[in-house]
Amino acid sequence: MEIDKERFRRMFPHLAEELESGREKITISSIRSDIEAGEKAASRRFEGYNPDVIDFIRRCETEKQAEEIIEYLRRRGEISGEYAEKLLEQLREKGVRSFGPKKEDDYYLKQAGY
């Protein structure tokens, strides 16, 4: 089906704007002929993921370790003092596992299917 640009703009004004602006570009850096290898490369579930304080706490084995993580991130300004206090309160009242099960070594690799 062929459609001229002006008709496309009238029918899909937002899509036309997006396509013409060039802001939303995706670079294709390689082509894979092996489906399994391609699927594995495409399933980078945590690519660009930045762990938060809860992710770090879930790696702790003891409450003391979790307290050190919370205080460290508070000192660095990565979490607010108010949020740190809430985390410490939960830690004291409910324990380190209240933040979720322990994340073992290679957690992210296993979750991504490697």
pLDDT at 14: 87
Whole-model pTM?
0.56
* Rounded Cα gap, residues 105 and 54, in angstroms: 16
Tokens of 85: 């206090």
Residue 38 pLDDT level (bands cut at 50, 70, 90): low
Residue 35 pLDDT level (bands cut at 50, 70, 90): low
* Rounded Cα gap, residues 89 and 94, in angstroms: 8
Q: How far apart are the first and last CA of the chain?
A: 42
pLDDT at 17: 86
pLDDT at 61: 92
93's enclosing H/E stretch is helix 81-94
Q: Give CA separation, 83 vs 54, 68, 87, in Å.
A: 11, 15, 6
pLDDT at 72: 95
Which tens digit of pLDDT belongs to each residue from 86-108?
A: 999 999 999 999 998 888 877 76
**Are the CB atoms for 45 and 112 separated by under 8 Å?**
yes
**Are the CB atoms for 78 and 103 separated by under 8 Å?**
no
Show me where the domains of the chain are located: 53-111
